[in-house]
């Protein structure tokens, strides 16, 4: 009874002097209090809640405000008065209640508290306070609708950041994460950009520094801003293999960075490189980009990169390395090279040289047969291409071993065309090897013998005699020696005459013999005897 009398009979001065525990106890049953007492106690408890940050006291005051419009109006006025002097306490009080009940009324109060807190922090407080408040509001969930407050706060702090590098860093980071309009304003402010400290300033302003450290320490948004600005400026220093891999991963993932406008997205950076990458990127960066493209099987983009001015000149000498690092199959490599040739970015001679380089790198192993076949087709299609003889011999050996007529016959044709015919020993040895190893292929063997016939027909009798001696006892060249001896015999028969002359002589002989036959033909009316002396 004594407590009830005390509560019901006290005035405002008594409420201030009443122990806070008694106030809290009384407000637990607020309906039993008179309206005036309820309001006085609520005001008293709000003062305590703001000073102590006591969660229970704060929750009880907020409940009273939600349940009693009169109390709500009175305490709202009190909050707005207090926000000018202790904005952080008011903000914390309102913010705590929003976790339980997020409605328009409390959201509006939070905005007012946030705006007041930022104003005090930016204009009057120490630099660290400004940083703390901007960071706090920048991290609040979007449902609290503090975007406009943050926007105004960032702009209000812009000029102050000219002389406070840490504040400048916080502003640019928050703008990249939350406010693209402010981001553009800051990026276009030379004084602000000059104030950016350490690695942040080096990356965003000078296109130098460590982009991965920026990514790890300041977030994806600022990393992408730095990468995009460097790409647009045609600066390659930032584009390490790891940085390019990160940008490419975002590109193929197709998920844009939500807070950033299109010019700072991975799609835009890749497009810049596809148009000017050869000119703007250094060799290491260009190789890294090409490897990422081919690893993802985006051959169309690789061809686009290659088709830039000087693209083929810069990239093609590194094509083998790029293909190896992108782990593409031999078939993939052949198809890609074919497309490059068709597009006009690679000459047939360059394609053949690339195939040979790949084969040497793969040590001409068994699985390289499709590549050897492709080289053979290229040589057949372009007979004027120059190929080293050692490559042709390797082709012939593998073609014979694998019984691949395309490879073997192509190699034989090229070897015979480039064979030195002045050295008899070298000629016979080459002929022996080709003849013995091509027995399995009738077309290849026939081509070899036909070439031999044509060759020895052009040789003088003295050379034929030497070649005959060189062929003596050579296994596998019996047919070749038969051809040579036949030609020698025919030439001996013709006595140095050419075929038309020899034919004429044969014809003359035939005519004489025919005339003699007619003159001495038996069966005439008189016998005719023949006198050899006559």
Measured distance CA(455)–CA(120) in Å, rounded: 102
Measured distance CA(182)–CA(150) in Å, rounded: 10
Statement: residue 481 has pLDDT above 50: yes
Q: Both tokens of residue 477?
A: 């060249």
pLDDT, mean of residues 293-309: 96
In a domain, 483, yes or no: yes
* Residue 1 pLDDT: 34
In a domain, 493, yes or no: yes
Measured distance CA(138)–CA(140) in Å, rounded: 6
- pLDDT-based confidence at residue 521 (cuts at 50, 70, 90): low
Cβ partners under 8 Å of residue 141, min gap 6: none
* Residue 520 pLDDT: 66
Cβ partners under 8 Å of residue 213, min gap 6: 199
In a domain, 315, yes or no: no
- pLDDT-based confidence at residue 497 (cuts at 50, 70, 90): low
In a domain, 491, yes or no: yes
User: Quick check: 385 and 347 in contact, CB under 8 A?
Assistant: no
Range of the domain at 491: 428-519
- pLDDT-based confidence at residue 293 (cuts at 50, 70, 90): very high
Q: Both tokens of residue 339?
A: 């497309």
In a domain, 34, yes or no: no
Measured distance CA(365)–CA(356) in Å, rounded: 13
* Residue 172 pLDDT: 98
Cβ partners under 8 Å of residue 20, min gap 6: 44, 45, 48, 57
* Residue 85 pLDDT: 87
In a domain, 58, yes or no: no
* Residue 289 pLDDT: 98
* Residue 534 pLDDT: 52
- pLDDT-based confidence at residue 462 (cuts at 50, 70, 90): confident
* Residue 5 pLDDT: 38
Statement: residue 10 has pLDDT above 60: no
- pLDDT-based confidence at residue 12 (cuts at 50, 70, 90): very low
In a domain, 469, yes or no: yes
- Total domains, the chain: 1
pLDDT, mean of residues 290-296: 98
- Cα dihedral across residues 450, 453, 458, 462: positive or negative: positive
- Cα dihedral across residues 347, 352, 357, 361: positive or negative: positive
- pLDDT-based confidence at residue 500 (cuts at 50, 70, 90): confident
* Residue 418 pLDDT: 86
- Cα dihedral across residues 470, 474, 476, 478: positive or negative: positive
> Where is average pLDDT lowest: 27-31, 270-274, 380-384?
27-31
Statement: residue 518 has pLDDT above 80: no
In a domain, 454, yes or no: yes
- Over the stretch 253-279, which tens digit does the pLDDT of each residue have? 998 999 999 999 999 999 999 999 999
Statement: residue 3 has pLDDT above 70: no
> Where is average pLDDT lowest: 81-90, 426-435, 521-530?
521-530
Statement: residue 533 has pLDDT above 70: no
């Amino acid at each position: 009874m004594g407590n009830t009398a005390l509560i019901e009979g006290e005035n405002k001065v008594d409420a201030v002097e009443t122990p806070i525990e008694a106030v809290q106890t009384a407000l637990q049953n607020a309906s039993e209090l008179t309206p005036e007492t309820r309001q006085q106690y609520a005001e008293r408890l709000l003062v305590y809640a703001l000073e102590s940050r006591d969660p229970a006291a704060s929750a009880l005051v907020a409940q009273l405000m939600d349940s009693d419009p009169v109390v709500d109006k009175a305490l709202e006025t009190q909050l707005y008065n207090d926000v000018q002097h202790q904005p952080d306490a008011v903000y914390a009080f309102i913010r705590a209640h929003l976790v339980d009940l997020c409605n328009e009324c409390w959201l509006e109060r939070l905005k007012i508290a946030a705006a007041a807190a930022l104003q005090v922090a930016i204009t009057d407080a120490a630099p660290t306070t400004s940083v703390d408040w901007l960071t706090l509001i920048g991290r609040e969930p979007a449902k609290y609708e503090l975007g406009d407050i943050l926007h105004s706060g960032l702009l209000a702090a812009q000029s102050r950041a000219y002389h406070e590098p840490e504040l400048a860093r916080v502003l640019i980071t928050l703008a990249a994460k939350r406010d693209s309009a402010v981001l553009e304003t800051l990026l276009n402010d030379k004084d602000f950009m000059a104030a950016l400290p350490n690695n942040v300033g080096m990356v965003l302003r000078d296109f130098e520094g460590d982009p991965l450290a920026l990514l790890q320490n300041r977030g994806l948004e600022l990393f992408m801003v730095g990468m995009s600005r460097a790409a647009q400026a045609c600066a390659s220093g930032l584009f390490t293999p790891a940085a390019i891999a990160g940008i490419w991963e975002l590109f193929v993932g197709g998920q844009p960075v939500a807070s950033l406008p299109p010019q700072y997205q991975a799609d835009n950076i890749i497009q810049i490189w596809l148009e000017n990458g050869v000119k703007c990127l250094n060799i290491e960066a260009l190789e890294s980009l090409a490897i990422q493209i081919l690893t993802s099987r985006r051959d169309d983009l690789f061809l686009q990169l290659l088709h830039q001015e000087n693209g083929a000149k810069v990239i093609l000498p590194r094509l083998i390395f790029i293909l190896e690092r992108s782990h593409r199959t031999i078939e993939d490599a052949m198809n890609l090279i074919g497309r490059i040739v068709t597009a006009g970015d690679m000459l047939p001679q360059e394609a053949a040289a690339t195939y040979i380089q790949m084969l040497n790198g793969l040590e001409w192993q068994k699985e390289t047969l499709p590549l050897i076949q492709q080289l053979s087709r290229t040589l057949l299609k372009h007979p004027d291409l120059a190929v080293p003889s050692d490559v042709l011999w390797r082709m012939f050996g593998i073609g014979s071993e694998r019984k691949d007529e395309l490879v073997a016959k192509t190699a034989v044709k090229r070897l015979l065309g480039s064979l030195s015919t002045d050295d008899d020993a070298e000629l016979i040895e080459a002929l022996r090897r080709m003849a013995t190893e091509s027995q399995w292929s009738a077309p290849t063997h026939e081509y070899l013998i036909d070439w031999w016939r044509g060759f020895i027909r052009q040789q003088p009798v003295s050379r034929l005699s030497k070649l005959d001696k060189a062929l003596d006892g050579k296994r596998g060249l019996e047919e070749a020696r038969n051809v040579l001896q036949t030609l020698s015999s025919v030439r001996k028969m013709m006595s140095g005459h050419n075929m038309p002359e020899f034919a004429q002589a044969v014809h003359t002989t035939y005519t004489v013999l025919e005339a003699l036959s007619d003159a001495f033909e038996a069966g005439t009316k008189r016998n005719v005897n023949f006198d050899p002396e006559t």
